[in-house]
Amino acid sequence: MRTDVHQMLGDLPKAYAATTDTGAEHPPRDDDDPGAMPAELRRWLVRLRLLEGVPFANLVADTELLPEESIRWFYLDRRWTDALVQGALSAGTVNSDDRVQLTAQYDAVRDELDTEERNYRRAAGSPRFEGKVESVSGFLLRSRAVSGWPGLHVRAFSVDPEEADDATYPEVDPRRMRLLRLERLAPAVLLVLFDGVPAVVHIEEPRQGVQFGFDVAATTGQLSATFRARKRDTFEDLPGAANVIDVPFRADGAPGVVDIQAISTELAKPSHPGTGAADGLDSAEYALQLIRFPYRQVFGDAEGPTGNVPIKTVFQPRIMYADHVAQTFVAMKDPR
């Protein structure tokens, strides 16, 4: 009698799972409950699934793939992260019995991790989220904005919100999609992972505190900036090109330092009526002219007659891996 070894190795875990409690019948009810694995191991594997501890070189193979002032959108291949977890768990196997037991347990382990991912960034003491994370997408942002504003706000939506720019969106808003990870990997590199594929993403400067600023012009060799004068009584921008003021800089060997006194003199001119600077500016009136609202960059907004490219197309791969490998090896064999 011949034994099909491959079939036997495939049937052994199934037979073992049928006679063993894998933990799938008893999912954890809180963060410290054991299920298919101890709670501490579950938390570590969730962090691994969300790419914590994965070397950056394995995420971005070459610096040219993430140049300065760029953003790159992606989605996670769950087969890749499953293999990552399997590899981590296999480190504890010694013999074939251990491998059979691990194979029998793995379906329950994977289901438990799918649910635990959604609870990873949950606020302490809040109810646990139910359901599994089906797909994970995200982006890598390399920009001076990341180092300049370490507390950047990132919000993802399943639909385009209709509220005004000053609207706030609580975490419980059903249109918001959960952030699975939000972390600076380097001073100017931000990694964000979403629970699903969003329709619209907002990246916004933090709103805490008071911010002053100008519109920096894209010139070569010399720094230049402008700002629009405001009406003192209503805080509205004054219309017309005449009310766009060139920012004066000090000429005493301090490049980039604004000449505050020169700005006050410019605002007091009759060509800028309504600023209230004619009789002098106190500190509050000066702040009124220079304060700037946080900037918000919106990705996926489909405004306009034809609309932009739907954001879901950004996550569709354009290069077939098999074709790429085949072409590469053909080129290596036949350099002609």
Q: Where do the structural domains in the chain lie, given as residue ranges?
A: 5-61+76-118, 136-209+297-315, 215-290
Q: Does the pLDDT of residue 226 top 60, yes or no?
A: yes
> Nearest 5°: phi and psi at 289?
-75, -30
**∠ CA 205-210-214, rounded to 5°:** 70
User: What span, in angstroms and rounded, lies between the C-alpha atoms of 186 and 147?
Assistant: 9
* DSSP string over 118-146: HTTTPPTTSPPPPS----EEEEEEESHHH
Amino acid at 100: V
pLDDT of residue 140: 95
Q: Does the pLDDT of residue 326 top 70, yes or no?
A: no
Length of the chain counted residue by residue:
336
Q: Does the pLDDT of residue 162 top 90, yes or no?
A: no
pLDDT of residue 194: 93
User: What span, in angstroms and rounded, lies between the C-alpha atoms of 190 and 147?
Assistant: 9
Which residue do the tokens 């100008």 mark? 214
Strand partners, 72: 140
Q: What is the mean pLDDT of the chain?
A: 78
Coil, strand or helix: which one is 212? strand
Q: pLDDT band for 5, please (50, 70, 90 cuts).
A: very low
Q: Does the pLDDT of residue 4 top 80, yes or no?
A: no
Provide mean pLDDT across the span 101-129.
81
Q: How far apart are the first and last CA of the chain?
A: 54
pLDDT of residue 71: 93
pLDDT of residue 138: 93
Q: 263, 247 in Cβ contact below 8 A?
A: yes
pLDDT of residue 221: 65
pLDDT of residue 336: 53
Q: pLDDT band for 12, please (50, 70, 90 cuts).
A: very low
The pairing of strands 189-195 and 179-186 is antiparallel
**Tens-digit pLDDT profile for residues 37-71:** 888 888 899 899 999 989 998 889 888 889 998 99
Q: Taking the C-alpha atoms of 242, 247, 250 and 256 in order, what is their torsion angle to the nearest 10 degrees?
A: -160
User: What span, in angstroms and rounded, lies between the C-alpha atoms of 161 and 178?
Assistant: 16
**Tens-digit pLDDT profile for residues 245-255:** 888 888 775 66
Q: pLDDT band for 142, please (50, 70, 90 cuts).
A: very high
